[in-house]
Amino acid sequence: MSKITFPKGGIHPPENKITEHLPIETMPIPDEVAILLSQHLGAPAKPIVAKGDKVLVGTLIGEAQGFISANIHSSVSGTVVKIDEIPDANGYPKTAVVIKVEGDEWEPSCDLSSELKKECPLSPSDIIEKIKQAGIVGMGGAGFPTHVKLMIPEGKSVDTLIINAAECEPYLTADHRLLLERTEELLVGVSILKKALSVDRAVIGIESNKPDAIKKLSETALEYEGIEIKELKTKYPQGAEKQLIKAVTGREVPSGRLPLDVGCVVINAGTAHAVYRAVQKNIPLIERVVTVTGKALKKPANLMVRTGTPVSVVVDYAGGLPDDICKVISGGPMMGKAMPNLDSTITKTTSGILVITGKEAIRPEPTACIRCAKCVSVCPMGLEPYLLEKLTENKLWDKAEEKAITDCVECGSCSYICPAARPLLDNIRYGKSTVMMIKRKRSAK
């Protein structure tokens, strides 16, 4: 099987997949959970429970509001203690339903049997509605509601479903283990997504550093019509949507356009598994695999964790914070964000918790740009990061827009390669958000 990849830029940071051989372990349910009502892109869900209410695992506790939003369900059984604000992973206060855990009772509609259900008699519209009711969102990090992604606007057409199984971020292995241990469930999920989109072709793109998962997927997929496995070269950011589409289909998503504009829909591997559970087992999205990792951590692991579980409890389960701890990152080291504290809770999009020591986190003092153009050579979007940084520093927003700053996928390859240790991504990210705000205001006039 030949290895394919995207043509522009890219880097190969140390992989550090220290948990890749560790099976998924189910983490004990905590005494109390705080389930955020905003675990997705779009409007927060509206709470439909109150203090004192009894809930089961799978009970709807927050209703989606607006077109881009998602339902929220209880991940535990117990009593609602309060509805209050708690910090999210970025430290911002967000509304959450706090539930005291009592037992582990599930909604009767949830099918907890281990039986694999392959056949799905539902129509495409019924599948999409079921995914919507189950609160399924993109589990790769963006949290975009999946049912919206599957609703193809009039005048558009899709011919290829791409499953993003690249997991190109260093350290993270949650998708790898899911691909290996839940292979059949995931493939049924892919088949269901194909039916929802009415397409004949699905491609699972997976990096070559997961040979065991590639072998198992390739062998098992023979029983599933219209599902191909594509081995991708191990290169970061292989899992970025536009880079994955280019690698798998050769199609290039134009600047400012969406995968839909080139006939593709991209769904994360974990999301495909969640779709199987939602459609075939009536289980809403109430838990996920989280890689808890770090070189100094006593018990790194791939854990199946209920949403709303405090990050502090997850870290304690993995052996607690080591000495000389410097940063705890939500996600991977390239695109993840440092958490201000451990008071936040696990959400539908928490793919990993990375613990980094002070020695590992040292960032050299930035010096002046030396015009080496290394940042240009690694940018997968063909941008000029050194220039975008300067335009941001000087608030030259018109010029930044002209130079396509909003095309930046925030992969951080430029910062990683910069010999002058320039904080390129930090500055470009600020410039990008500012230009996007300007564009939104201009469109609203």
Note whether 262 and 252 are within 8 A (CB).
Answer: yes
Collapse the DSSP code of 191 into the 3-class scheme (helix H, G, I; strand E, B; otherwise coil) and give the result. helix
Collapse the DSSP code of 182 into the 3-class scheme (helix H, G, I; strand E, B; otherwise coil) and give the result. coil
pTM for the model stands at 0.95
How far apart are alpha carbons 209 and 15 in whole angstroms?
9
- Shortest CA distance to 413 belongs to which of 375, 381, 382? 375
pLDDT band at 2 (very low <50, low <70, confident <90, very high): low
pLDDT band at 357 (very low <50, low <70, confident <90, very high): confident
pLDDT at 348: 97
- Shortest CA distance to 418 belongs to which of 382, 385, 391, 395? 385
How far apart are alpha carbons 419 and 338 in whole angstroms?
23
Q: Which residues are annotated as a binding site?
A: 369, 372, 375, 379, 408, 411, 414, 418
pLDDT digits (tens, 9 = 90+) for 403-435: 999 999 999 999 999 999 999 999 999 999 999
Q: Which residues are annotated as a binding site for [4Fe-4S] cluster?
A: 369, 372, 375, 379, 408, 411, 414, 418
69-81 mean pLDDT: 98
State the Cα angle at 439 between 433 and 442, rounded to 5°.
Answer: 145
pLDDT digits (tens, 9 = 90+) for 146-155: 999 999 999 9
What is the secondary structure of 233-284 as a DSSP string?
A: PS-BTTTSHHHHHHHHH---PPTT--GGGGTEEEEEHHHHHHHHHHHHH---
How far apart are alpha carbons 232 and 377 in whole angstroms?
20
Collapse the DSSP code of 222 into the 3-class scheme (helix H, G, I; strand E, B; otherwise coil) and give the result. helix
Counting Cα atoms < 13 Å in the Cβ hemisphere of 437 gives 7
Q: Which amino acid is at 6?
A: F
pLDDT digits (tens, 9 = 90+) for 328-339: 999 999 999 899
pLDDT digits (tens, 9 = 90+) for 93-116: 999 999 999 999 999 999 999 999
pLDDT digits (tens, 9 = 90+) for 291-330: 999 999 999 999 999 999 999 999 999 999 988 878 899 9
Pull the structure tokens for residue 374: 């290394």
Q: Is 133 exposed, middle or buried (0-12, 13-18, 19+ CB in 10 A)?
A: middle
Residue 1 pLDDT > 60, yes or no?
no
How far apart are alpha carbons 259 and 145 in whole angstroms?
15
Distance from chain centroid for Cα 126 = 25
